[in-house]
Amino acid sequence: MTGRRHRGGGPYPDRLITYEEEPVRSMLGDKRAIAVFIGPALIVYTLVMIVPLIWSAGYTFFDGSVIGGFNFTGLDNYKQLLGDDAFWASTWFTVKYGIAVTVGQVGFGLLLALLYTFYLKRASALVRTLVFFPVVLPTVAVAAMFTKLFAVAPQPGLINSIASVLGMSGDRDWFGDSGSAFIVLVVMDVWRSMGFYAVLLYAGLVDIPDDIIEGARLDGARGWRLVRHIILPMLTPILLSSVIFSINGTLKVFDSIMALTGGGPGDTTSPLTLYMYKTAFSFGDYGYGSTIAMQLTLLSLLVTLVIFRFSRKDQTR
Amino acid sequence: MKLRSVAIAAAAMLALAACSSGTDDTAASGPLQVKYYSVQQPTEGWPLVFGKLTDDYAKTKPGTTLKVEVAPQADLDQKLQLLASQNNLPTIFNAPNSNELLQQMYNSGQILDLEATLKELGVFDKLNPAAVELVKKTQGGKLLGLPLELNIEGVWYNKKLFADNGITAPTTWEELSAAAAALQAKGVQPFAASGQQGWPLTRLLGNYLFRTVGPNALQDVKDGKAKLTDPQYVAAAQAVADLGTKGYFGKGVGTLDYATAQDLFLQGKAAMFYMGSWAVRDFGNQQTNKIGADNIGFLPFPTVAGGTGTADQTPMNAGLTTVVSKKGYNAEVGAWLKYIVEHYGDRALSEIGLVSGFTANPPADASALTKGVVTQIGATKQPLLWFEALFPTKATDTATKNVTRLVTGDMSPADYMNTLQKAIDQG
Amino acid sequence: MSTPTAVRHAHETAPVTPTLRHRPKNRLGRQLRRMPLRAAVALLLLIEIYPLVWLILSSLKQEDEFSLKPVWALPEGFDWANYSEAWTTGHMSTYLRNSLLATVPSLAAIIVFGVAAGFALQVMVWRGRGAVLLVFLAGVMVPLQMVLLPLFTIYFKAQLINSLWSLIITYTAFGLPLTVFLMAGYFRAIPPEVLEASFLDGAGIFRTFAVVVLPMVRNAILTIALVQFFFIWNDLLLSLTFISDDNLRTVQTGLLNFVGQYGQRQWGPTFASICLTVVPTLLLYLALNQKVMKGLTAGSVKG
């Protein structure tokens, strides 16, 4: 019995697949075929990701630069990390930003998906396309637009103009303090990507058989209750994927912050990636830069594991 | 067996990739191709002049070409660092923003000491001695980069706006503040400055220090004889912060980019603009300059009451210099370089009105502003460096990034100087 | 997987009735209740369409209009010069070609390698596949900046710097984690019986994969290709690091041709270039939109 069962791998370890027939098992266990299927991907991936990753991990024990040469310093970089205010500030910013944007992207994505499914129904194709559109735009264009929208000088941007029409202060310098600059950043990245997550979640929603939803409605489930007790549980796997992609993307944010605030004012909107990039390439301290990047990788790993653990618990309940 | 062919194709792709030759740097034979890695576009500035001169040079040495590759200034250091790590720097390139990186390149034997090289070529006298001194001060006592520009800095002002509001050109900081207050009272923004760049604001801070503490103010900090947290230094930060908190830089100074800040001045919306004389090129552009070149005046940075600095001590710089790779250098490149050095000064002036650190005779048709710059350079008793010139890179970054917080009041002068001193101590 | 079962059972016992939306009495109330929703949709469309319009209008503006006029102002005249500048000074045709030359092979490699790997990891049976899948998943977490220096060194030694190959290989490797992860999910939805039937018909594993499995995930592949396309198309950091030859630049680095020494940008030609490059991608998306929707709705992503 146990020989006929095996646990599925990686992202979906809960699933048990059983193969009843012996020839099927041997067919699926064909070593040569497995090598052909996975070989190319594994080779490219190992050479271009794993080897450089380990290589860079090695740099975390060294001090020096790519030109002057490196000296082995043991754990000095890690010790320096503990007392580095800028590192902790960047870490805090990264986490804060990751959570805010992920909640925004997936949350609005879900709302949009519900809108497409239950309100727009068949008419939703055009709206879906339009909401997806920002994904196509280069970062530099999006950032330029948000800079202008939230500008106060040389011309008040749209947001400040609307604010003054509504009787509020129309000369707010949105990029002048860390709090409001953070808000603009989050709004921008949510706006950019919510369409993508909406489409992803919409796919999951459409996939829920109509009779289940109709049945639940007949049982008196409406509105929020329908969403909470029927739709969300059925969407859990795809929501989980969405959250994992979103958080891993946002923890590694670089382009949009570079283009919109450059990490400013001061270093108050500087994520770990930017701090790492500057340390390694502007300040010429590659070892310490790698150490920072390593923490970001570990942070992503930790967050992903927490999400997995959390979702597992949720499902067994 | 579709899949096997796929796997073979994949292997072939990798093999092909490994064999295909991407770089052509090893091609030694054939006519000389000089690779210039620059932050300026081929259609402007130094690459433009170099291109024209190379075309002329090619008349005697047919086939000589200049290939300009552009790197944004923000990414210049990263690219140079990576290229240097493979000992594969381009023939000539803009010096990295980080002086430490430049010194590392020199110490590892990747770039030339140009004083020796140019003396060998017999053209060292083509350089303006003052410019050479200036470059040496910032490059660890050696001439590693060519001073392709020689700029003075100061306050450019809109003559008409001054006259309309009954303001005479201020010569002291107090007068400058009074002028700014008067302008603001009339609804004219006193200063335009790019907070996104940061350095246009820290320059004010540095110059204020040179006027109060004296020309050695920042050398003393470097030598550890003074701290940025000393009262006189914090007072300078306070003076600049005051300009900001009184609103003299206008709204949203932190996001203004270089071009927009300059536009504010050239469109007559701001009365004063602290900038280097390289901007004279843009002042001459009638498309962007709506106030007219004749309407722009120059003020040496004002003196501060009780300070030891004087108005004939002028902030000067050689712009971003251009260095020469040792590996790429040979007799052929030497001959080309000799030609460039012999002709650069005059050509830069005649072609784009650029005053350089090379000897030159201003053409008769040079603009009044250009002539003024030449006169001002001649009248300078002592050149001053800029605020961050002697800072380590990390402190430079801290200074320019946080200065907008200083002028918006988000960061106190004491905090600002304290953070900066810490960065210097670490570097 | 566990949650909906209760619902399903409840539903199975419920009588089948026509849906509620046919009740006429509620129509007016329904209309009223829908007003806020309508407004929300209108607002949504506004914030999505406005940027597109703004982008196109901006591409027709003259340089000083950006600082002199408010952000929503219409262009003073149609300044097509921006487009000719984008095409000539900006070398947009070259950059478009390079972007395509880098993107298409990377996409092909990502799909071929990633789909095959996903199949091996999810469907085939072997020791250590869980670990390998985790290794791939870890790739989602590696920041690009961390591997720049080693990659640069490797490519330099292999003489791949200033060659589109460096981009193609890197894009492929960075596209694989997501692809493998997603494909493994899609393959889970394939019932084992389908494979069994194919094997019993005498088909080998490769034939089964090509003839039976691939058609079932065709739309999913299209979807992944689309997602990867945007990642590759919008890459700036890699192309900036590995390519400095102007003739080999991609669209995103090409936009830097309008940036001066002090970061000052010529916005008119920049926006014109963006329009020139966005239009083809948008058309591509519109053309594929239906298929992508089918791909996503093919029932594969869900648990």
Name residue B205's amino acid. Answer: L
pLDDT digits (tens, 9 = 90+) for B348-405: 998 888 999 998 887 778 888 888 898 888 888 889 999 999 999 999 999 999 999 9
Residues 6+ away with beta carbon under 8 Å from B105: A67, B80, B84, B89, B96, B111, B323
Report the SS3 class of residue B191: strand
- Closest chain A residue by Cα to residue B198: A266
Residue spans of alpha helices (H) in chain C: 4-13, 27-58, 65-68, 81-87, 92-122, 129-138, 148-157, 164-188, 192-200, 205-207, 214-216, 218-233, 237-242, 251-254, 267-296
Chains in contact with C, where contact requires at least 3 CB pairs less than 8 Å apart:
A, B
The rounded mean pLDDT for chain B is 90
Q: Which of B4, B85, B251 sits opposite A153 (nearest CB)?
A: B251
Q: What is the mean pLDDT of residues C184-211?
A: 85
Each residue's pLDDT tens digit, B99-116: 999 999 999 999 999 999
CATH superfamily of B151-317+384-426: Periplasmic binding protein-like II (3.40.190.10)
Alpha-carbon distances of B102 from A67, A275, B47, B112, B138, rounded to whole Å: 10, 22, 21, 11, 11
Chain C contact present for B21, CB below 8 A? yes
In DSSP terms, which residues pair with A43 in a beta bridge? none
CA distance C154 to chain B (A): 10
Q: Look up residue B389 and give its amino acid.
A: A
What was the pLDDT predicted at C277? 82
pLDDT score of A145: 86
Asked if the model's pLDDT at residue A1 lies above 70, the reply is no
Reduce the DSSP state of residue B315 to 3 states and report it: strand
Dump pLDDT digits (tens) for B46-80. 999 999 999 999 999 999 999 999 888 888 999 99
Q: Which two tokens stand for residue B156?
A: 């450019």
Q: How many CB atoms within 10 Å of residue A79?
A: 11
pLDDT attached to residue A313: 60
Other CB atoms within a 10 A radius of the CB of residue B364 amount to 6
- Interface check B320 vs C, CB under 8 A: yes
pTM: 0.87
Partner-chain contact C244 B258, CB within 8 Å? no
pLDDT digits (tens, 9 = 90+) for A250-286: 999 998 898 898 888 888 999 999 999 999 888 888 8
Q: Residue A190's pLDDT is what? A: 95
What is the per-residue pLDDT across A84-102, written as a single tens digit (0 to 9) for each? 999 999 999 999 999 999 9
Chain segment A51-61, per-residue pLDDT in tens: 999 999 999 99
Among the partner-chain residues C206, C260, C261, the one whose CB lies closest to the CB of B1 is C206
Decide the pairing of beta strands B65-70 and B33-38. parallel
Average pLDDT estimate for B188-203: 94
pLDDT of residue A316: 46
Considering CB atoms only, which of C105, C163, C265 is closest to B22?
C163
CATH class of A84-316: mainly alpha
For the record, the structure tokens of A111 come out as 């709302």
Whole-number Å distance between alpha carbons of B309 and B217: 10
C196: which chain A residues are within 8 Å (Cβ-Cβ)?
19-21, 24
Is pLDDT above 80 for B164?
A: yes
CA angle C68, C70, C73 (to 5 degrees): 105
At residue C125, does pLDDT exceed 50? yes
Asked if the model's pLDDT at residue C12 lies above 60, the reply is: no
Run of H or E residues at A70: strand A69-72
Show residues of chain A in contact with C37, CB under 8 Å.
Answer: 115, 119
Domain B29-146+319-356 bears CATH identifier 2.60.260.20 = no
pLDDT at residue A8, rounded to an integer: 38
pLDDT at B420: 96
The verdict on A179 touching B (C-beta cutoff 8 Å) is: no
What average pLDDT does this structure show over C116-130?
88
CB contact under 8 A, C7 and A216: yes
Position B220 pLDDT exceeds 50: yes
B90 in Cβ contact with B81 (< 8 Å): no
Q: Which residue ranges make up each domain of chain A? A: 2-59, 84-316
Contacts of A219 in chain C (CB under 8 A): 10-11, 14
- pLDDT above 70 as % of chain B: 93
Q: Indicate if the pLDDT at residue A295 is higher than 80.
A: yes
pLDDT at A7 > cutoff 80: no
Give residue C297's pLDDT.
53
Task: Name the more confident of C8 and B326.
Answer: B326
Q: Tell the residue number behind the tokens 């790519």, with chain if given.
A: A66
Which residue from A25, A141, A218 is facing C125, i.e. has the nearest CB? A25
pLDDT digits (tens, 9 = 90+) for B295-311: 999 999 999 999 999 99
Chain-chain contact of C67 with B40 (C-beta, under 8 angstroms): no
Q: Are the Cβ atoms of B408 and A173 closer than 8 angstroms?
A: yes
Q: What is the DSSP string of B39-108?
A: SS-TTSHHHHHHHHHHHHHHHHSTT-EEEEEE--HHHHHHHHHHHHHTT---SEEEPPS-HHHHHHHHHT
Per the model's pLDDT, the better-predicted residue between A1 and C246 turns out to be C246
List the beta bridge partners of residue B316. Answer: B152
Structural domains of chain C ordered from first start? 94-245+286-296 (1.10.3720.10)
Using CA atoms, how far apart are residues C239 and C165, in angstroms rounded to an integer?
A: 11
Residue B146 φ then ψ, to 5°: -80, 130
Region A297-317: what's the mean pLDDT?
75
Cβ contacts of C244 on chain B, cutoff 8 Å? 37, 69, 71, 79
Instruction: Report pLDDT digits (tens) over C265-285.
Output: 888 888 898 888 887 777 777
Asked if B85 lies within 8 A of C152 by C-beta distance, the reply is: yes
CA A84 to chain centre: 26
Q: Would you call C113 and A230 a contact, using CB atoms and an 8 Å cutoff?
A: no
- CA-nearest residue to C282 within chain A is A136
Q: Provide the chain B residues 373-392 that lie in CB contact (below 8 A) with chain C.
A: none
Report residue C26's pLDDT band, with 50, 70 and 90 as the boundaries. low
**To the nearest whole number, what is the mean pLDDT of chain A?**
84
Query: Residue written as tokens 């594929």?
Result: C288
Residue B106: its pLDDT value, please?
Answer: 96
For residues C144 and C164, give the distance between their C-alpha atoms in angstroms, rounded to a whole number.
Answer: 18
Per-residue pLDDT of C52-72, as tens digits, reads 888 888 888 887 787 777 777
Q: Does A140 touch chain B (CB under 8 A)?
A: no
Strands B382-384 and B313-317: parallel
Q: What is the mean pLDDT of chain C?
A: 80
CB B328 within 8 A of CB B97: no
- pLDDT confidence bin for C295, thresholds 50/70/90: low
Q: Does the beta carbon of A175 lie under 8 angstroms from any beta carbon of chain B?
A: yes
pLDDT band at A123 (very low <50, low <70, confident <90, very high): confident
> Which of B14, B39, B41 lies at the smallest CB-CB distance from C257?
B41
- Percent of chain A past pLDDT 90, that is, above it, reads 35
Q: What is the CA radius of gyration of chain A?
A: 24
Residue of C2, C71, C183, C188 to mutate for A, most A C-beta atoms under 10 A: C71
Q: Report pLDDT digits (tens) over A231-244.
A: 888 888 788 878 88
pLDDT at residue B30 greater than cutoff 60:
yes
Contact A206 C109 (CB under 8 A): no
Chain C residues within 8 angstroms (CB to CB) of chain B: 63-64, 67-68, 89, 105, 109, 112-113, 116, 148-149, 152-153, 155-156, 158-163, 165-166, 168-169, 206, 209-210, 240-241, 244-246, 256-257, 259-265
* Cβ atoms of residues C229 and C223 within 8 Å: no
A19 band by pLDDT with thresholds 50, 70 and 90? low
Q: What is the pLDDT of residue A82?
A: 93
Say if residue C5's pLDDT is above 50: no
Interface residue of C154, C252, C262 to substitute, partner B, most B CBs within 10 Å: C262
Delimiting residues of CATH 3.40.190.10 domain(s) in chain B: 29-146+319-356, 151-317+384-426
The residue to which tokens 């370089």 are assigned: B337
* Contacts with B21 from chain C: Cβ below 8 Å: 159, 163
